[in-house]
Structure formats: structure tokens, C-alpha cells
Structure 1
Amino acid sequence: MKKVLAAIATGALIATAFVAPSSAATKLKVAHIPKLGTIGYFQAADKGVQRACKELKATCAYKGPTEITAAAQVKEINAAVQGGYNVLIIAANDKDALVPALKAAQKKGVTVVTYDSDVAQAGRSVFVNQASSEGIGNALADSAAELA
């Protein structure tokens, strides 16, 4: 599982390199904003983000909210933008509630990458999905068959 998360995070950052500000003088400054900062899944994903940031010589910060609400994520998004972060990697708590803050960030030149759970397309630059719905369904059906 940790290898999968690291691969997802690395893929997200590599995708970011193609859609992020292209000026040679612009250094990547990445804020990773999960649904909740204390969940092991997102902490494991952050290890991949940190590794990819090191490879890309980017500055990274884990900005995990302390409560699992859209309002807490919006607060982290706004703080990251004010802090000069030019890439946001987000696992969204709410598909629609984050969009206004993310659109405002994009207007300031911030690249928005979502993973795990997406936002409406207008609020992000790219979505990195760790599995297809069909693949998840097949795996669940196979697991259920093995247990039966």
C-alpha cells in the first residue's frame, strides 16, 4: 500500500511539473493538503510527496487539517496561497465546496492537483486517480468471492 501511495504522489508531482509555472526562475513550492492530517493513508502519501519534492528540488509542506471538513481545507488552501505555494496537492473533503478557493488560487497562478477524491473540474488542473471505479469493483467482488 505504501508503495502504491508513493507512486501516486510521485505521479502527481510529475504531472505537476508539466502544468506548473514554467519559468526557470519559478521554484516549485508544494503544499500537500489531505482530508485530515492524522490519517495514516495520507501520511503515507505524504512520504511519496516528500520524496518526489526532493527529486524535483521543490519545497514541500504537509498541511493536514485537524478536522475533516471542507471549511478546514479551505482555510489550509488560503493559507498556502498566501504563503506563496505555487502547487497544491489535495485530497478533497467536498467536491464543490473547495472550488471557489481553488479557482481563486488558480487565478493567482497556482497549479492544483487532486488525488484520492476529486473536485469539480473547474477547481483543478489535473486529477490523479489511484484506481478506476471498475477496478475497485472487480477487486471487491473477487475479495467477496474468496470470503464466501
Structure 2
Amino acid sequence: MHKKIISILTVTALLFGATVMAHTIAKKGMRADLVLMPKFLGILVFDQANNGAQEAHKELGNPGKLEFLGPTPENSVAGQIEILTTATTQGQDGIMISNNAGDQIAPAAKAARAKGMTVVTWDSPIPSADGEQLFIAQVDFNETGMVMADMALSIIGPGGGEFAVLSATPDAANQNAWNASMKEQLKDPKYSKIKLVDLVYGDDQSEKSYNQALALVDKYPNLKLIMAPTT
């Protein structure tokens, strides 16, 4: 349900080309050709977001197209930039991006804006915010970092110990923000008995993530926890 609400608000923002307000209602029947772009294809949460977006698209009676286009995991950064650039060239009205390219996508986003396209980010923003008109966060990044720190403390226990984080990709702005918040929380004396020894990336790929986990276990024989805020 939460994902559906996010999708509805995003499409509403694209149709109006304005900031979403609490009581903004999209005018049904307005035409807008849109692209929903995940970090990459093959991840369940993005498929679910697409289902919600398609449902909202029908509810709004938009006669335009809503395409779900994403790169492969192996080509996520360059692929996202290519899809955005192609959408701009095609004259799409708007694009909704779960950004996995960091600020590398900012020039393409600014070029899209210059051509009159509405650029909305969801799930993961453009870190500098250059080129995006609106970012829709599914969680509060600071609170997520607090939860991660609390979970680590709870799982490791009062005796304390070492833990590591196996995150997604180095350019995933949302997870980078979660990790940064967690590191900040760990400075609190209540976490003094747990120690973050490493942060590695599995690029949201099962085999690479598995190998990274094995490497962490080999590197840190006293490791008590591997936290993986990723799919």
C-alpha cells in the first residue's frame, strides 16, 4: 500500500510539473508519456513499485504511455544515463528514477530539464539534487541509520563485538545515506561495545554478495554480524 501511495504521488507530480502538496489531486485524463526507471531490472521491490505505478496510471486515466525501463545490474550506471538520455531525445514528458548512478546522472538530468522534461527521483536521489525537481523518500534516512545501529547492538548483544556492512553499490545514494547515518549513531557511547570493521559492496548481485560475505568472514575471524541493507 505504501509503495502504491508513493507511485500515485509521483505520477501526480509529473502531471502537474510541480511540488506535491498534501491536497494536490491530478486532473484525470491529462496526457503524459512517462518512464519509470529502477536502479536495474530483476529486483522484486522495483517490480512491485511498477505494479503500483501502473495501477495509478490507470486510475488517473492518462492516455499516454507509462514504460518501465531499467538497465541490467552489470551496466546500471551507464544504463541509467543512457535510458534518461534516450527518453529526453524521444520527448518524453517525465521520468521517475531510482538513482543508482550517484551524481554521474546529474548532467543528463539537467539536460532533460532543459528540454522541458519533469525529473522525479524516488527511493534513491541524486546526491547533489542537480536536475531533480522532486525526491520521494520511502523512509527517513537518518532514522534508518538509527535502526541499523540499534539492530546491530541488539543482535550482537551486551558483550559487544565486531560487525560489517554488506551494502549495495557505491553509487546508491539512499544506502550511502543510511550507512552514513549509522556511522554517526555509532559515535554514541551506548554503542561503545560494538565496532564496525568494514563496509563492502555486493552490487545487489547474489554471487558477488556471497563472495563478499565469505571474504569478510575470512578477514575478520571475530566477526559477529554481517548487516546487509540491500536486496
Task: Tell me the TM-score range normalised by the shorter chain.
Answer: 0.7 to 0.9
Q: Which runs of 5+ in 1 are unaligned?
A: 21-25
SS state at 2:130 partner: helix
- 1:143 Cα shift? 4.3
- Residue 53 of structure 1: aligned partner: 57
* 1:27 equivalenced with 2:34 (yes/no): no
SS state at 2:103 partner: coil
Aligned residues between the structures: 143
1:111-144 CA-to-partner distances (Å, cap 9, x unmatched) read 0000111112221111011111233134435545
Whether contact under 8 Å (1:38, 1:64) holds in the other structure is no
Whether contact under 8 Å (1:74, 1:98) holds in the other structure is yes
- 1:145 Cα shift? 6.1
SS state at 1:121 partner: coil
Distance 1:60 1:15 in 2: 14
User: Structure 2: which amino acid aligns with 1:10?
Assistant: I
RMSD: 2.2
For 2:72, which of 43, 56, 66 is the aligned residue? 66
- 1:85 Cα shift? 1.4
Query: Which stretches of structure 1, 4 residues or more, deviate above 4 A after TM superposition?
Result: 141-148
TM-score normalized by the length of structure 1: 0.83
Q: Which runs of 5+ in 2 are unaligned?
A: 19-29, 158-231
- Residue 123 of structure 1: aligned partner: 131
- Residue 228 of structure 2: aligned partner: none
For 2:46, which of 42, 53, 57 is the aligned residue? 42
User: Structure 2: which amino acid aligns with 1:91?
Assistant: S
Query: Percent identity of the aligned residues?
Result: 32
- Residue 84 of structure 1: aligned partner: 91
- 1:73 Cα shift? 0.5
SS state at 1:31 partner: strand
Greater gyration radius: 2
- Tell me which moved more, 69-78 or 109-118: 69-78
TM-score normalized by the length of structure 2: 0.56
Report 1 or 2 for greater relative contact order, CA contacts < 8 Å, sequence distance ≥ 6.
1
Whether contact under 8 Å (1:78, 1:101) holds in the other structure is yes
